[in-house]
Amino acid sequence: MIDDTLSLPLPLLVACDCRDEVQLVIGTNPLGACKSRIKSILRSGANAIVLAPTSDNDIKQLVSNFGSESRFQIINRSLHLSDLTTIGRPLVAKVVDRVFVQLPMEQCLIAKEVYTQCVKLRIPINTFQRPEYSTFHMGSTYVDPEGSGLQISVSTNGQGCILANRIKREVIAALPKNISQVVSNMGRLRDQVINEDQKKLLHQQYHLTQELAVAENVWYGLTGEYESHKLNKLIKEFDMSERDQKLKRTRWLSQLIEYYPLSKLADVSLAELGSQPTEHQNSDTPNNTSKVPPILEGSDRENATAIQSNSNKSDPRGSISLVGSGPGSTSMLTLGALQEIKTADLVLADKLVPQGVLDLIPSSTETFIARKFPGNAERAQQELLEKGLESAKKGLKVVRLKQGDPYIFGRGGEEYKYFSQHGFEPVVLPGLSSALASTVVSRIPATQRDVADQVLVCTGTGRKGALPQIPEYVSSRTTIFLMALHRADVLVRELLNHQWDPKVPVAIVERASCPDQRVTRTQLKYVSEVVEEIGSRPPGLLVVGHSVAALVPDKLTQFNDSHKYSIEEGYQATEPVLSSLLN
């Protein structure tokens, strides 16, 4: 379905494979722009033929720049329209593949003629600073100088290339400095995983059964695992099929890419990806837990431990706290959580803890991010518990940093019991749960007079992946389903089977309070179709109830079979102001 809030036609942004094409540059005016055209043509693997150069000086300069390139050629004569169909590749009947017109203003009649002819012949044409004579335009493009293959192109749909350039620069400045290594490393891992695991699997299964159906099934594995809405597909840890085992690393990789701090992706190795967490696994950082805790003197020490419980206050063996870090934005972190982060010796973080919060951890503090991926959640959890306990015994201040609130589907209770039973009763600091923050950031009053008088927070995934007990439908209730999007189809089917109103408004709230927050409003009956169509941007949850529509304009909530959803993107956090307070 096309989002009909977009009334302007938008050009299609594509990345074309131009290898071996013949691309014609007609004229060389202005020379600077002409040079960058030629450079990008050559970089794309195409041949650049310059025709009708504007001056002898231009020829000299172009030759000195590109003369040594075998795919570069200058034809020093004026243009004949027949050139368009005679100097191209034999493979495409000698029609040139693409045309760039760089003629001076006074030759605009020729430009018009070339344009008309190109349109007739369906040759894509770009005329310098003449959108009316162009069938495509080039975005303002950044090419990673380190050669990772990363390119970022910005288009404002003809609303100013200076602006597009500025936006491009801002986007690039916001990326981690090691983005090139991130792209190269992830590309390498992806290749290795696909080549080693999936090809092996394809081969094995094909030979086992020799049935086309199985081969098709595996092809689903090869491609489908990268479909974002399947990213969180439930994998049963202790009941994995051989195929699941083999595809495990692919899924882990997809999850890693989705959840890990971007800059950290530069160093993840294949060995780490495939390894099962064990008791003595090293952490992400080269430091290890045996490091001596910093000695804090007098009142410093007191301040640092001020929020610890009495049981730990004078415990030379260290301490453990379970700390909620809120849903994403650092503006939703509590001051207590901040103090814990700043005074920890070791931070054990959930993989969902947002980057902004991780950035607050002092660089000298050892940080370990849970390696909970589909199929190894139990083992990864055990690894964290053991690591925490071991470190506390060594006298360290261990902060177990959890996403949202530690006691809302965060296993906080289990962790509390574990550490207490082992002699370290943790201090527990609440965090703002995504369950209640998601509604606020998406303009949903979870309770509102005459609309909703109760709130229910529940899970879409019960223990060991079973469906949870389905709550009854109450029309004055706002129900929030966490961990539900990867199986929205099953859940919604069950809700409808239990007499839930198919037309009740639903919001799919993803990455609540993060800059890339997405709120998709629809009706219950359309949810699975919509999830399939928009893909997923984890973590996300479902809010179901009339409160979803209470504060937003009608056009965002009136749906039918041909208009099934509306999307609102982004969240304006107050981080920039906060940053001065936080440091």
Residues marked as catalytic: 350, 372
Applying CB under 6 A, which of residues 483, 527, 530, 550 lies at the interface with ligand SAH? Answer: 483
Q: Which is nearer to ligand SAH, 407 or 526 (CB)?
A: 407
**Spatial distance between the Cα atoms of 538 and 520, rounded to a whole number of angstroms:** 13
Q: Is 509 in the site for ligand SAH (CB under 6 A)?
A: yes
Q: Is 356 in the site for ligand SAH (CB under 6 A)?
A: no
Pairing state between β 505-510 and 566-569: unpaired
Site for ligand SAH in 88-147 (CB under 6 A): none
CB 134 to ligand SAH: min, Å: 42
Q: Is 185 in the site for ligand SAH (CB under 6 A)?
A: no
Q: 216 vs 20, 223, 448, 486, CA distance in Å? A: 33, 11, 50, 22
DSSP letter (8 states) at residue 196:
I
Helix (H, G, I), strand (E, B) or coil at 81: helix
Q: Is 374 in the site for ligand SAH (CB under 6 A)?
A: no
CB 226 to ligand SAH: min, Å: 20
CB 547 to ligand SAH: min, Å: 16
Q: Which is nearer to ligand SAH, 81 or 440 (CB)?
A: 440
Q: 548 vs 445, 536, 557, CA distance in Å? A: 8, 20, 8
Q: Is 550 in the site for ligand SAH (CB under 6 A)?
A: no
Binding flags for ligand SAH, 295-334, as an x/- string (CB under 6 A): --------------------------------xx------
C-alpha dihedral, 347 to 353 to 359 to 364, nearest 10°? 10
Residue number, nearest CB to ligand SAH:
404
State the Cα angle at 97 between 92 and 99, rounded to 5°: 150
Q: Is 366 in the site for ligand SAH (CB under 6 A)?
A: no
Site for ligand SAH in 200-259 (CB under 6 A): none
Q: Which is nearer to ligand SAH, 41 or 512 (CB)?
A: 512
Q: Which residue has the tokens 């094409």?
A: 21
Q: Is 539 in the site for ligand SAH (CB under 6 A)?
A: yes
**How many CB atoms within 10 Å of residue 254?**
22
Contacts (Cβ under 8 Å, ≥6 apart) of 476: 451, 452, 453, 454, 546
Length of the chain: 583
Own/partner pairs for 181-184, CB < 8 Å, 24+ apart? 181/146, 181/148, 181/266, 181/267, 182/262, 182/263, 182/265, 182/266, 183/144, 183/148, 183/149, 183/150, 184/146, 184/148, 184/149
**Spatial distance between the Cα atoms of 580 and 546, rounded to a whole number of angstroms:** 39
Q: Which stretch binds ligand SAH (CB under 6 A): 162-170, 175-183, 256-264, 427-435?
A: 427-435
Q: Which stretch binds ligand SAH (CB under 6 A): 137-145, 155-163, 418-426, 510-518?
A: 510-518
Q: Is 403 in the site for ligand SAH (CB under 6 A)?
A: yes
Q: Which stretch binds ligand SAH (CB under 6 A): 201-209, 378-386, 400-408, 443-451?
A: 400-408
Q: Say if CB 485 and CB 541 are below 8 A apart.
A: yes
Q: Is 434 in the site for ligand SAH (CB under 6 A)?
A: yes
Q: Is 409 in the site for ligand SAH (CB under 6 A)?
A: yes
**Spatial distance between the Cα atoms of 191 and 197, rounded to a whole number of angstroms:** 10
Q: Which residues lie near ligand SAH (CB under 6 A)?
A: 327-328, 352, 403-405, 408-410, 433-435, 438, 482-483, 509-513, 539-541
